[in-house]
Amino acid sequence: MPEMTLVQALRDALAVEMARDDRVVVFGEDVGRRGGVFTVTEGLQERFGEERVYDTPLDENGILGMAAGMALMGLRPVAEIQFVDFLWPGFDVVISDIAKERFRSGGQYGVPLVIRSPYGGGVKGGLYHSQSPEAIFAHIPGLKVVIPATPSEAKGLLISAIRDEDPVVFLEPKKIYFGIKEEVPEGEYTIPLGQARVVQEGSDVTIVSYGALLHEVLRANETLKQEGISAEILDLRTILPFDGPTLLESVAKTGRIVIVVEAPRILSVASELAAFVAERAVDYLDGPIVRVTGWDTPFPYALEPHYLPNVRRIVHGVRRALGLVP
């Protein structure tokens, strides 16, 4: 199997689906000739032509509206928003049209499209290029929200998203676009949406994360192992629908849970997961539900290392869950 970065795996997934299904079209700002600002779509226009891979005006409302119309007419559009922070001018289309069409039509029409976008911190992009708004999308009935953590996961999840009959917001953690390489299967394969991955089995505490922060959790785990702490690590993969059964099974085994996300704490994905566990697994808990998150401020530029959860904060969170520190 070839080794790929996250960017290369995403590009491979798009190429696989475009070759398999001529209804798949890819468009957005600079995705054609330039191949996107992060080069995810590099070479696709040359391979599949300007009618299937093309640049759009700098108009997120137009990009998303066009994607909705294409999907309603039978195509499988993959619309790139250059940074998720730029999506808001088109947010009404997402809320009022894309997410609701299946419900509004009584199931007669679907909007099978993918909104791809880089998200999150880690590249010193400041407050206009580093937001983690996954909880906002997850709050909208009708959308699915996916965040991959590795190249092989990204390819399988993106193929599944393109084939899904409902709209999918596919957020790509740009911090690990080029920093991680692994073997990625060739050809087509899928990873089911809504199914978490048990990265490591353990007995003392469950740690749940996704995206770039999964790798920070794995680094923290090296410290935990030295302290004799056995952590079960879950990669959520799909924010909505999330895999409740796997989460509950893990918490029932370990009796403790730490949830790690880089978004602000208030009304975050961590908040929902904490509520889910508290409602359904409180009898299994032997310690507090601990959240390790970003801070409730706009994303800083100079203070980015202090904003993002790191090894020190994750280890402290696990110690709290185990009752080792206040």
306 noted as active-site residue: no
Residue 261 Cα distances to 52, 57, 94, 103, 162, angstroms: 35, 33, 24, 31, 25
Catalytic residue selected from 129, 139, 306, 316: 129
C-alpha angle 313/317/322, rounded to 5°?
Answer: 150
- Measured CA to CA, the distance from residue 146 to residue 120 in angstroms comes to 13
Strand segments (E) across 108-200 = 114-119, 144-146, 168-173, 182-183, 197-200
Backbone angles phi, psi at 71, to 5 degrees: -65, -40
323 sits in the region (left: phi over 0; alpha: psi -120 to 50; else beta) called: left
| Longest CA–CA separation in the chain, Å | 60
Mind telling me the catalytic residues? 129
